């Protein structure tokens, strides 16, 4: 059996950025208007006033300085606070497929492949634009790929879970060359009016080519030494948006129909889960954590990543060991660890080992151990 490699990755970066200062200015304007509108109830003590957000808090608590978004004016409009996206006709490429295709083109070029070389497409992300036809099949059609495509969703762990499906497909022979895409338009389901989480997410798309080593021709290849997935039920990150909302006669604008979390609980509970997960996978592969050259981790929180890696290697964590991209991109859900891998790997030497690891809603955690060829 040929080894399985990652032979190329690609990144699509949306055209607009929102800095923390811009975000906080619009949020605070919304708060002032809301408090003025509810002044009588606030005065009577029947409603609590909303509180201003702050850039200092955001950067200190999370490490985030800015985020990329598909559309900016709607998010920053205090009367609206979500993006303004144009509805497209059924014969146009959907926006989620479009950004996936942009990332895919770059990954294909990096791997020295064309769409015709691909015989499976997996679209894996935390928010799918529609129920069907699958976005993956639309991407398959747009790039001229053969074989099959399907969508899957494991929230922030969607990329690593999809990589395992891609590796298994190549190993068992159901595909020779798999394109995994992670289009994340998180701005559509972020709650921009909630001070606790309005700063968390950004939009982006990533793509990865997984193929047999004996067909790979790219200059840079990463052998997949193993992958490991785990889930454990938690309500601490949740979104109740879904196709039964109409039948339930529930309010489509209700708070539970967008992203919400108990951030502090998630932080506390997921750090030990993620570090134990990586440790057990490395042990199974007879690799010492201290021998891992780089950890490309899910990008939700700077301190969280430092704690996870510190638990593993028993030393202070430098950006060289665990690179950070969330300062520029914010949390891009499933795409975060792939962006880190995409942007921070060329300096590694042949034989170096690295770990891609994602963790988040579910809870879910997925890790993929790679060795540079």
Q: Which residues form the catalytic set?
A: 156
**What's the gap between Cα 171 and its chain centre?**
25
Residue 237 in the binding site for ligand CO8 (CB under 6 A): yes
> How far is Cα 65 from Cα 77, in angstroms, rounded to an integer?
20
Residue 369 in the binding site for ligand CO8 (CB under 6 A): no
Give the angle subtended at the CA of 126 by the CAs of 99 and 72, to the nearest 5°.
55
**Strands (DSSP E) along the chain, which ranges?**
4-12, 16-19, 66-69, 120-124, 148-152, 177-184, 204-212, 222-231, 237-238, 260-261, 294-297, 353-360, 364-372
What is the footprint of ligand CO8 within residues 3-42 (CB under 6 A)? none
Residue 241 in the binding site for ligand CO8 (CB under 6 A): no
Stretch in the footprint of ligand CO8 (CB under 6 A) among 14-22, 194-202, 207-215, 308-316? 194-202
**Cβ–Cβ < 8 Å for 180, 166:** yes
Sign of the C-alpha dihedral computed for residues 152, 155, 156 and 157 taken in this order: negative
Given 263, 276, 311, 352, the residue binding ligand CO8 (CB under 6 A): 263
Residue 201 in the binding site for ligand CO8 (CB under 6 A): yes
CB 159, min distance to ligand CO8, A: 11
Residue 186 in the binding site for ligand CO8 (CB under 6 A): yes
What is the footprint of ligand CO8 within residues 278-317 (CB under 6 A)? 300-301, 304
**Strands (DSSP E) along 203-262, which ranges?**
204-212, 222-231, 237-238, 260-261
> How far is Cα 356 from Cα 166, in angstroms, rounded to an integer?
15
Q: State which residue, 104 or 237, has the beta carbon closest to ligand CO8.
A: 237
**Nearest CA among 89, 95, 93 for reference residue 69:** 95
Residue 259 in the binding site for ligand CO8 (CB under 6 A): yes
Residue 326 in the binding site for ligand CO8 (CB under 6 A): no
Q: State which residue, 92 or 303, has the beta carbon closest to ligand CO8.
A: 303
> How far is Cα 348 from Cα 342, in angstroms, rounded to an integer?
12
Annotate each residue in 63-102 with x if it binds ligand CO8 (CB under 6 A) or - if it does not, as one string. ----------------------------------------
Stretch in the footprint of ligand CO8 (CB under 6 A) among 32-40, 87-95, 193-201, 225-233? 193-201
Residue 128 in the binding site for ligand CO8 (CB under 6 A): no
Residue 209: count of CB within 10 angstroms of its CB: 27
Tell me the two tokens of residue 101.
């295709």
CB 48, min distance to ligand CO8, A: 12
Q: Which residues bind ligand CO8 (CB under 6 A)?
A: 53-54, 57-58, 61-62, 126-127, 155-156, 186, 189-190, 195-196, 201, 237, 259, 261, 263-264, 266-267, 270, 300-301, 304, 331, 333, 360-361
């Amino acid at each position: 059996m040929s080894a399985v490699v990652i032979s190329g990755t690609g990144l699509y970066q949306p055209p607009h950025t929102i800095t923390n200062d811009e975000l906080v200015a619009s949020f605070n304007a919304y708060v002032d208007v809301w408090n003025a509108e509810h002044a009588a109830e606030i005065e009577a003590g029947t409603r609590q006033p909303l509180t201003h957000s702050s850039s200092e808090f955001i950067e200190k608590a999370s490490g985030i300085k800015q985020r990329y978004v598909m559309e900016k004016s709607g998010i920053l409009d205090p009367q609206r606070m979500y993006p303004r996206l144009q509805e497209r006709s059924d014969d146009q490429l959907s926006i989620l497929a479009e950004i996936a295709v942009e990332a895919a083109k770059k990954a294909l070029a990096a791997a020295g492949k064309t769409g015709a070389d691909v015989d499976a497409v997996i679209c894996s992300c935390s928010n799918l634009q529609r129920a069907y036809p699958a976005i993956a099949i639309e991407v398959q059609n747009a790039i001229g790929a053969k074989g099959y495509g399907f969508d899957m969703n494991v929230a922030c762990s969607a990329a690593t879970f999809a990589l395992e499906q891609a590796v298994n497909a190549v190993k068992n022979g159901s595909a020779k060359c798999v394109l995994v895409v992670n289009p994340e338009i998180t701005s559509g389901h972020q709650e921009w009016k909630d001070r606790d989480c309005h700063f968390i997410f950004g939009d982006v798309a990533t793509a990865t080519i997984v193929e047999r080593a004996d067909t790979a021709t790219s200059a840079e290849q990463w052998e997949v030494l193993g992958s490991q997935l785990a889930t454990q039920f938690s309500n601490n990150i949740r979104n109740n948006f879904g196709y039964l909302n109409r039948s339930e006669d529930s309010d489509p604008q209700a708070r539970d129909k967008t992203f919400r979390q108990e951030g502090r609980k998630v932080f506390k509970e997921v750090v030990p889960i993620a570090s134990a997960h990586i440790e057990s996978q490395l042990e199974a592969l007879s690799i010492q954590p201290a021998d891992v050259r780089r950890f490309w981790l899910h990008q939700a929180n700077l301190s969280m990543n430092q704690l996870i890696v510190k638990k593993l290697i028993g030393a202070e964590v430098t950006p060289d060991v665990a690179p950070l991209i969330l300062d520029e991109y914010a949390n891009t859900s499933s795409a975060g660890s792939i962006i880190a891998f995409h942007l921070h790997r060329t300096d590694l030497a042949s034989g170096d080992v690295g770990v891609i690891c994602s963790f988040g809603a579910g809870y879910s955690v997925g890790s993929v151990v790679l060795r540079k060829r």
